[in-house]
Structure 1
Amino acid sequence: MTEPNRLAVRLAQEETLLRQAYPGARIDRESLVVVLSGHQLPAGWSHRETDVLFQIPPNYPAGQPDNICARPDLTLANGGTPGNSQGVQVHAGKRWLQFSYYVDPGDWRPDADPAAGSNLAEYLTGALTRFQEAD
């Protein structure tokens, strides 16, 4: 099986897991991104919710996702710039505020069975912790 076909099969398997954990999430196979719509933010942010995006590396699952993005106008409630933000970037044809977030390579353990190892839903769960405290 070619690499693009292998990735397509893997993403189809993972979409079920992702939607079970996050019903508002979807995989955009053309842009190789995961988008979660309407993520509720805690106090301390300039908005009550944001869409969230992260890229799927072309060599996924061996290559792990890196960084997480939110709406481009997201700030701290006081108007300040959030820590670990990397500025506004363009992903999947839209502007996003990108934040640094990664999983330690030793903790990324994909398996042939997506449910048995590291997967997109697990990455999203970890990445969303970035928004738990506004800083």
Structure 2
Amino acid sequence: MGGAAQVQIEDLLRRWPDMRTQGLPSGAILVAIGSISLPPGWSRGATSIRFLIPTGYPFAAPDCFWADNDLMLEGGRMPCNAGKDNVIPETAELGLWFSWHVQAWNPNRDTLSSWMNTIAGRLRQLQ
């Protein structure tokens, strides 16, 4: 990963002090944020979030994310475009996988913080 990725990781760390990173064998980086608040309508008030910084970042965009495996919508409903018991690539961790993608990634404009904003936006959609 280049220097831009490291600066963006440091920006995320300022926003979420409980964030951790782990280098993976492929060269990707797993980002894990211990707790982000959820709006009413979920089965709990907060969840952890994990996503991968792909090799080739920032030209290769982050894609998909994982929440706590037992996270559900209120009433026990499964969120749309999500799957339980999904293995995070190159780890033994299971999570609730969200098939969520940016429509147009611009490496000159978009950052890891904008990707986290995309994740937060998805979690505001109670579906």
The TM-score with structure 2 as length reference comes to 0.84
Match of 1:128 among 112, 115, 120: 120
Output the CA distance in 2 between the equivalents of 1:84 and 1:62: 25
Output the CA distance in 2 between the equivalents of 1:15 and 1:33: 11
**Alignment size in residue pairs:** 122
RMSD value, Cα = 1.8
- Runs of 4 or more off by more than 6 Å in structure 1? none
Matches within 5 A, 1:23-34: 23-30=17-24, 32-34=29-31
Unmatched runs of 5 consecutive residues or more in structure 2: none
1:12 aligns with 2:2: no
| Maintained 8 Å contact 1:66/1:102 | yes
Unmatched runs of 5 consecutive residues or more in structure 1: 1-6, 112-116
The TM-score with structure 1 as length reference comes to 0.79
Partner-residue secondary structure (3-state), 2:36? strand
Partner-residue secondary structure (3-state), 2:121? helix
1:75 aligns with 2:72: yes
Residue in 1 aligned with 2:98? 99
Residue in 2 aligned with 1:3? none
- Amino acid of the residue matched to residue 93 of structure 1? A
